[in-house]
Structure 1
Amino acid sequence: MLTSLSIKNYALIDTLRVDFNDGLSIITGETGAGKSILLGGLSLILGKRADLNSLKDAAQKCVIEAVFDVSAYNLKPLFKAEDFDYESQTIIRREILPSGKSRAFVNDSPVNLSSLQLLGERLIDIHSQHQTLELTSNEFQFQVIDAIANHDGVLQNYNNVLKAYKMLQKELKELLVFQAEAIKEHDYNSFLLNELVEAKLVDGELEALEEEYETLNNIEGIKEKLNEAHHLLSEEEVGALSTLTALKNAFQKLCGFSSKYEDLFNRINSSLIEVDDVFSEVNSLQDALEVDPGRLETVDLKLKMLHNLMQKHVAADVSELIKIKNELEEKVSITENLDDTIQKKQIEIDAKTTELNTISKTLHKKRAEVIPRLKKQLEDVLVGLGMPNAQFKIEAFYSDTFYANGKDELSFLFSANKGGHFNELKKAASGGELSRIMLAIKSVLSKYIKLPTIMFDEIDTGVSGEISNKMGDIMLQMSKTMQVFSITHLPQVAAKGHSHFKVYKEDVNDTTQTNLVKLNHDERIVEIAQMLGGLDMSSSAIAHAKELLN
């Protein structure tokens, strides 16, 4: 509920502050007095984009602030989702700076416009000519039926499942595209993989093969040097072993004379053992060394193959080739297993399809149950609004397509005249008839759901007499469960209000200003009398005004 509104430096408004009550509040004023300015300021509170031209004084900032009692609106989840500070008395403030920048605040915390719009939709419903046109859209018509069906939980469940279903469909499409591309590359990847598999790659083998190749390719020179080493070690008179053995024997005889000789003896003995071990190793190398042209050719071929593969795959060593082989194995495996993956994804989609069909049938059944009730209630209300022959033909057809709100396609047809043809609302109803239909819909909805504050902007345009009286009764009835504002030119409607506000212009210091003031009982009599008979009020107009108010 809107409890107060203050506007500073906006359009023709210098400073304005007004408090509102619950029930039905009437706003009247001459054409051009500034009712649209009031709505414009309120629209800024609801998230409309700001315009620098709306500043009354371009050197000062514009501030519009509204206080709402939101305790009955169950808005805590929305406040939490949007990271607003929840207060039962919520303050929304918009500021337009001279620089053109705009700022918005909810309970003194800055917010963006999209979040403010989301909150605003739950606080005030401004009914204008634009919203009357929304009445002709299938989306709005579904919202009306679904509100009466009271299946928000089912719709939310459907939306969640539909979101998952669409995600699975997207993933399946991506898999199919990937498969088409993968199939093109599969044969080539398989060929590359087979080359690497047949190479029987072993990490570190390149260095070992290169060493073996150098040995086999230079075997004669190696044999020659090993023979020379064998001779230098084993020659009887001057060989290293013979010399060290003689040296060892000489010092063995000196050990008894001094520990110095014993130390030298031990060092010579250690050297002899080491040289003897080297001699044994040289013998082993000589025995193992064998000319093998076949092995040389095998090693040469393997080396050439490894170098070719490294060049082909731009690899620095065999370990990188092994990594590439593993990656190719994964690609080939994924391609070869894609059919299974696609089949599993399709099974998931089929399961979601079944779930969506089940929920869609529930939605269809609930809609079919409430449509006759909605049809009758709308027609009953319209009888009192001067449309006794108004008829609706509303049907929900179960289709094969998953839409955002189920599988139903809605036919919402209307005929204003007895024996007339049914047609779409936008073709069958005039502007005035659409306004009355919208009022009828809002009045029906108010019986089923907690509507936000509603502001009817001259919804009674084009009607008069008893019909206007009935429209006022409908708004008065709605105001028992919600806050209702009506901007009107009709005295019959104005007299129904619990509160009455007047918008007027006045010149102050050669400047025109718009003001809004709450009228007391006597002032209401004058205002309604002027609405009945103009500025030159007759006694009959005053009497009529009193009669309407009573």
Structure 2
Amino acid sequence: MITNLSVENYALIDKLSVTFTEGFTTITGETGAGKSIILGALGLVLGNRADLNSLKNQQEKCIIEATFFIKNYNLSIFFEENDLDYDDYTIIRREILSTAKSRAFINDTPVNLSVLQELGNYLLDIHSQHQTQELQQENMQFEIVDAVGQNASLLQQYNSLYTQYKQLQKSILGKKNELENIRKEQEYNTYLLEELTNAKLKPDEQEELELSLEKLSNIELIKENLAKVIAISNDDAIGVTNSLNEIKYSLQKISSFDKLYQSLLDRVLSIVIEFDDILKEVEAVTEKIVDNPDELERVSQKLQTIYSLQKKHQVQTITALLSIQSDLERKVVSVTTLEEEIQNDTQLLAQLQLQLDEISLQLRANRTQAANLLTTELVTILAPLGMPNAKFTINIIPQEQFLSNGKDTIEFLFSANKGSSFGLLKKVASGGEMSRIMLAVKYILSRYTHLPTIIFDEIDTGVSGEIAHKMGEIMQQMSRNMQVISITHLPQIAAKGNSHYKVYKEDLEQHTHTRIILLNNEDRVVEVAKMLSGEKISSAALEHAKELLN
């Protein structure tokens, strides 16, 4: 249940705090006093979108904070799943900044609006005239029937299987489309794969082949220059070998005179040995070099094949070609694989269909039973609410295909008067009738659901007198099991609250402010009397107010 609501800088509210108690609370006030503003603030706590225009002073931030006592509502798992600190007294805070940005907190932990909205669904049900219109929609009609039929567990099972079923259907369709496309491309893919496979590509061979081609294409140049190296080295007149030997002999003659000359000699001897080794290797290499036109042709053709394949597939490396080859191998062999996968998925889909059918039948049986119970209870509750001849027929209509909540559609048929034929609720019920029907529905649901708090926003629109008195009694009965808050214009309902708040406007320093106060017994008499007779309170109105309050 909600225990406290504080609001700062919101609409006409500069600062406001309300403490709520168990049982039945009524809120009254003149039209335009700001009752809807309080509901708007609560809506922000439940995760509604924020609007910069809702700030009273747009230079300052708006803060709305609500405290809920949640000890008895088994919400610890929700807090664990969302990594939130649990507290029996949980505080939800919304902040709207002057920059139009909004922030939300649960027990001082920042959260996004989806988490706030999910938690709000467990804490508070705000009934508005808009929600009365929702009663005409099929999804809400199912919610009502399923709540009475206690189908929550079955629906959870169904939804889990239905999600798998739809995903599997989508997967099968995707695989069938892929299979069809692969079959169309199969011949061409096979040709491309054979072309790449026959090329016998290796990851690093392109660079090796290009080097080999360069070498084979310049074999005469290589031989010519190696021969020149040998010739220059061995020339009798100016050969490198003879010159090094001459240098060696000269240094040998003076090496004994100084360590420096000996060092120079040692270095020259090293050069002589190294150069002699180089010359022998050049001679050996030269002897092995022979023209090989066949190898040149082979390398040239292999490279041409690689270049051609790279151009065809618009890539620049053999690695990319091998990746394409691997992909083509998968496509070529995937026909059989896909056919097997589709067959297995289809068998699994059939199993899911059997399970969904079984649950759907159980849902339908529960709904049919609940529909009969619901029509009886609605008629009983509505009779004292000025609708003694109201009749309902709730049809659960089987469907062939699986829907999001079973294999049924639903019809709420309604007749308000004797002798009148049944018609769809959304077409034949008036606004006043819809309000009373919604109250009856909420009363029934309060016995089957575990929502801690419900707020009625002028659900009494279009009724008065004894009917209003009966509506107040119904809200009183509901408040025995849950916290009920009613925003009302009717004295008969206002008088039945365990607590009574008044919302009013006050003009201070050229500004209008919305205020809310808890009325004591004497103030309640005056407020109810005003609701009965207007600003000029008669003694009869005061007496009538006292009777209502007693």
Q: Is the TM value for this pair above 0.5?
A: yes
What SS does the corresponding residue of 1:451 show, helix, strand or coil? Answer: coil
Contact 1:91 1:107 in 2 (8 A): yes
User: Partners of 1:494 and 1:203 in 2: how far apart?
Assistant: 86
Give the corresponding residue for 1:452.
452
RMSD across aligned positions (CA):
3.4
Q: Is the 8 A contact 2:199 2:305 kept in 1?
A: no
SS at match of 1:410: strand
Residue of structure 2 in register with 1:358 after alignment = 358
CA contact (8 A) 1:306 1:318 kept: no
Letter in 2 for 1:16: L
Using a 3 Å threshold, how does the CA distance of structure 1 residues 461 and 201 change in structure 2: closer, same or farther? closer
- Kindly report which structure 2 residues correspond to 1:92-491, keeping only aligned pairs within 5 A, or say none: 92-195=92-195, 306-307=302-303, 309-314=305-310, 325-491=325-491
Please name the residue that 1:251 is paired with. none
Q: Contact conserved, 2:375 with 2:393, CA < 8 A, in 1?
A: yes
Q: Deviations over 1:348-395 (max 9, x none)?
A: 222222221122112112111211001100111111111111111111
Name the CA shift for 1:305/1:196 in 2 (closer, same or farther; >3 Å): farther
Report the CA distance shift for 1:386/1:311 in structure 2 as closer, same or farther (over 3 A): same
What are structure 2's unaligned runs of at least 5 residues? 220-286
Question: 2:192 and 2:148 mapped to 1: Cα distance?
Answer: 65
Change in 2 beyond 3 A, CA 1:35/1:191: same
Once residues 121 and 416 of structure 1 are traced to their aligned partners in structure 2, the CA distance between those partners, rounded to angstroms, is 32
Determine the structure 2 residue equivalent to 1:89: 89
1:384–1:467 Cα contact (<8 Å) kept: yes
Cα displacement string for residues 209-244 of structure 1 (whole angstroms, at most 9, x for unaligned residues)? x99xx99xx9xxxxxxxxxxxxxxxxxxxxxxxxxx
Of the structure 1 ranges 490-499 and 329-338, higher mean CA displacement relative to structure 2 is found in 329-338
Counterpart for residue 42 of structure 1: 42
Larger Rg: 1
Q: Which residue type is aligned with residue 306 of structure 2? A: M
Letter in 2 for 1:186: Q
Q: Deviations over 1:448-499 (max 9, x none)?
A: 1112311111111111111111000000000000000111111111111111
Give distance in 2, aligned partners of 1:32 and 1:322.
76
CA-CA distance at 1:200 after TM superposition: 7.2
CA distance in 2, matches of 1:509, 1:202: 88
Contact 1:310 1:316 in 2 (8 A): no
Q: Which residue of 1 aligns with 2:506?
A: 506
> How far off its partner does 1:90 sit?
0.8
Change in Cα spacing, 1:334 to 1:424, as seen in structure 2 (3 Å) is same
Q: Could you tell me which amino acid in structure 2 is paired with residue 310 of structure 1?
A: I
Q: Secondary structure at the match of 1:313?
A: helix
**Deviation per CA, 1:407-464, whole angstroms, max 9, x where unpaired?**
1111111111112122211111011111101000000011111123111111111111
Counterpart residue number, 2:281: none
Residue 231 of structure 1 corresponds to which residue in structure 2? Answer: none
> How far apart, in 2, do the equivalents of 1:470 and 1:538 lie?
25
**Gap runs ≥5 in structure 1:** 219-281, 290-295
Instruction: Classify 1:205/1:21 alpha carbon distance in 2 versus 1 (closer, same or farther; 3 Å).
Output: closer
Mean alpha-carbon deviation: is it higher for 472-481 or for 89-98?
A: 89-98
Could you tell which deviates more after superposition, 198-207 or 6-15? Answer: 198-207
The Cα offsets for residues 157-202 of structure 1, whole Å up to 9 and x where unpaired, read as 1111111111111211221221122122210122233445567789
> Judging changes above 3 Å, is the alpha-carbon distance between structure 1 residues 442 and 185 closer, same or farther for their aligned structure 2 residues?
same
Matching residue of 1:262: none
| Cα-to-partner distance string for 1:132-174 (whole Å, 9 max, x where unaligned) | 0100000000011111111212111111111111111121122
Cα distance in 1, alignment partners of residues 114 and 407 from structure 2: 29
Does the Cα contact within 8 Å between 2:431 and 2:462 map onto a contact in 1?
no
Residues 472 and 493 in structure 1, CA contact (< 8 A), matched pair in contact too = yes
Q: In the TM superposition, what is the alpha-carbon distance from 1:332 to its structure 2 partner? A: 0.9
User: Which whole-Å CA distance do the structure 2 matches of 1:133 and 1:167 have between them?
Assistant: 33
Deviation at 1:329, TM superposition (A): 2.9
Q: Which TM-score applies when normalising by structure 1?
A: 0.79
**Counterpart in the other structure of 1:79:** 79
Return the alpha-carbon distance in structure 2 between the equivalents of residues 501 and 32 of structure 1: 15
CA distance in structure 1 between the partners assigned to 2:41 and 2:319 by the alignment? 72
Quickly say closer, same or farther: Cα 1:321–1:378, change in 2 above 3 A.
Answer: closer
CA contact (8 A) 1:375 1:392 kept: yes
| Offset at residue 323 of structure 1 (A) | 6.5
Deviates more, 1:73-82 or 1:170-179: 73-82
* Structure 1 position 73, deviation (Å): 2.1
Equivalent AA in structure 1 for residue 526 of structure 2:
V
Q: Which moved more, 1:39-48 or 1:141-150?
A: 39-48
Q: Which residue of 1 aligns with 2:225?
A: none
Q: Is the 8 A contact 1:52 1:100 kept in 2?
A: yes
Instruction: Please say which of residues 24-33 and 327-336 is displaced more in the overlay.
Output: 327-336
Question: Deviations along 1:8-56, whole A, 9 cap, x unmatched?
Answer: 2222222211211010001111222221122122222122222222222
Sort the Cα spacing of 1:340 and 1:301 in 2 relative to 1 into closer, same or farther, 3 A: farther
CA distance in 2 between counterparts of 1:419 and 1:517 reads: 49
- Amino acid corresponding to residue 191 of structure 2 in structure 1: F
Q: C-alpha distance in 2, partners of 1:515/1:319? A: 76
Q: Offset at 1:77?
A: 2.5
Distance 1:486 1:374 in 2: 24
Identity of aligned residues (%): 50
Q: Assess, with a 3 A threshold, how the Cα gap between structure 1 residues 378 and 192 changes in structure 2: closer, same or farther.
A: same
Deviation at residue 327 of structure 1 after TM alignment = 4.3
**Structure-2 residue corresponding to 1:523:** 523
1:3 equivalent in structure 2: 3
**Partner of residue 60, structure 1:** 60
Distance 1:367 1:301, change over 3 A: farther
Which one-letter code corresponds to 2:498 in the other structure? Answer: H
1:240 corresponds in structure 2 to none
